[in-house]
Amino acid sequence: MADTQLDQEARKQRRNQRRTLRRRLLLLLAVIGPGLIMGVVDDDATGITGYSLAGAQYGYGLLWAVVLVTVSLIVVQEMVARMGVLTGKGLADLIRERFGVRVAFWSMLALLVANAATTVAEFAGIAGAADIFGISPWIAVPLVAIAVWLLVLRGSYRYVERFLLILSAVYISYVISGFVVHPDWGQVLHQTIVPPIQLNQGYLLTLVSVIGTTIAPWMPFYQQSAIADKGLHPADLAYEQIDTYAGAFVSDFIAFFIVVATGATLYVHHIQIAQAKDAALALAPLVGKYAELLFAIGLFNASFMAAAVLPLSTAYSICEAFGWERGVDRSFREAPQFLTLYTALIILGAAVATFVPAGNLVFVLNLPNIVGGMLLPVVLVLMILLCNDKRLLGRYVNGPVRNVIAWVTTIILTILALLIIITILFPGIGGS
């Protein structure tokens, strides 16, 4: 009899444990979104170009940087996840409240310029991918612009988020590409663990590009705004942290395989590229049409997602900074500034990418690096100060480890940002 009672208690305990596990999984699935979308959109057209150039020029020689920058990305985005969940406000909102309108204004102006130029780059990526599939950019770019606009204008936040999460699955094409090209996995592992660092201008600038494209200024603003718009509460913090960690890992996992795919092919055959489209086209004669199509599908998907998220991030941030109504659930009457700004950025990006020849877009495509390079260290300093404000976060302020990693990241990015700016403004400085 006692054994029977013990068995019943054990079964009851197992049922309760299963229910608890199911409940936690459902909560995680309900919360997940902002961090994961942030991570995959980070591998946009400019990101794919940066990682492809790294692989084409230095083989596997910068894989170590992709792995290390993941730690900084996790720390930076976890900070905004914490602020978003605990305050229910976006980053621009907190900057205005804590540091004043003047700081918020100049931060938003720099963000607007950087994101507008990057939006042009995303539509240029769409044009390049469409060209690979034999579709005229004059058809593809306007159709995608309309689709992106309708996605936000006609959808609720949950609809938009689910659609973007579904698109995220397409990024597996880059991982498959990494295996299709049959890399030397021994060399991949060796150069990831033992960095073959070169002290020349070309290598250092490519290193700057890899780090700069992994941690971009729009990312903290987007994720924290998305968390606030989703209405997450302090009880959801642990789940949103998991969402953030997953997003950062997926972002750099994809980046890792882009470097592997191009390092195993373009670097070995000494093929130079200028943009992500060139990388896709170059793969066909080396390893077959299949790899080219996989790369092109990934480029189109990445550009489509970023063309939706970057204008959305910009509209959120600027409207937060000035106290205007915002949200994808709002109508034009309820949030005129938000939806007008979102619409204007899409029209601008699509128009420039369609009417201006790709060869004439060099300055516009470099502009995000210049403005973003100057803006990101400033944003990180403001974030660190906010995350150490006990009046704002109470016992959830940064601990010593987070502060050390955040400040070291900020200092390194400041130095690298200055290198970007100096070399772009004075390209003759240094050797090759």
Condensed to tens digits (0 to 9), the pLDDT of residues 13-38 reads: 555 545 444 444 433 344 455 666 76
- With a cut of 50, say whether residue 193 has pLDDT above it: yes
One-letter identity of residue 198: Q
Per-residue pLDDT, averaged over 53-76, amounts to 86
Q: What is the pLDDT of residue 27?
A: 39
pLDDT tops 80 at residue 302: no
- Whole-angstrom distance, CA of residue 370 vs CA of residue 373: 5
**Mean pLDDT confidence for 137-165:** 74
C-alpha 54/C-alpha 263 separation (Å) is 8
pLDDT of residue 20: 46
Compare 105 and 359 and report the one with higher pLDDT.
Answer: 105
Domain positions in the chain: 29-425
pLDDT recorded at residue 385? 92
pLDDT tier for residue 218 given thresholds of 50, 70 and 90 = confident
Q: In this predicted model, what pLDDT tens digit does every residue of 256-274 receive, in sequence order?
A: 888 888 888 878 777 776 6
Q: Is the pLDDT of residue 318 over 80?
A: yes
pLDDT at position 136 over 80: yes
pTM for this predicted structure:
0.75
Q: What is the DSSP letter of 155?
A: S
Q: Quick one: pLDDT at residue 7?
A: 55
Q: What is the pLDDT of residue 12?
A: 58
- For the residues of 400-424, what is the DSSP string, one character each? HHHHHHHHHHHHHHHHHHHHHHHHH
Q: What is the mean pLDDT of residues 278-284?
A: 60
Provide mean pLDDT across the span 225-252. 80
Sign of CA dihedral 360, 129, 146, 162: negative
Per-residue confidence band for 88, with pLDDT thresholds at 50, 70 and 90: confident
The two three-digit tokens of residue 412, written as one number: 């390194």
**Of residues 389 and 38, more confidently modeled:** 389
Q: Does 150 or 432 have the greater pLDDT score?
A: 150
C-alpha 36/C-alpha 223 separation (Å) is 9
- Mean local confidence (pLDDT), 209-235: 78
pLDDT at 298: 72
Share of the chain above pLDDT 70, in %: 71
Q: Where are the alpha helices (DSSP H) in 136-236?
A: 137-153, 157-168, 172-180, 185-193, 201-214, 218-230
Averaged pLDDT, 242-266 = 84
* Cα 86 to Cα 224: distance, rounded to the nearest angstrom: 11
- Average of per-residue pLDDT across 235-242: 80
Domain 29-425 top-level CATH class: mainly alpha
More confident residue, 370 or 350: 350
Q: What is the mean pLDDT of residues 123-137?
A: 81
* Percent of the chain topping pLDDT 90: 2
* pLDDT band (50, 70, 90) for residue 336: confident
Average pLDDT over residues 36-42: 67
207 in Cβ contact with 66 (< 8 Å):
no
pLDDT in the model for residue 384? 92
Range picked from 112-126, 145-159, 395-409 for highest mean pLDDT: 395-409
Q: What is the average per-residue pLDDT within 69-87?
A: 86
pLDDT of 207 over the 50 cut: yes
The CA distances from residue 133 to 240, 266, 280, 356, in Å, are: 38, 21, 11, 20
Per-residue pLDDT for 89 more than 80?
yes
* Residue 195: pLDDT over 70: yes
Provide the token pair at 240. Answer: 């949103």
Work out the pLDDT band at 291, boundaries 50, 70, 90.
low
Mean per-residue pLDDT of the chain: 75
Q: In whole angstroms, give the CA distance from residue 97 to residue 125.
A: 37
* pLDDT exceeds 80 at position 104: yes
Please report the pLDDT score of residue 160 as a whole number.
61
Backbone angles phi, psi at 201, to 5 degrees: -60, -45
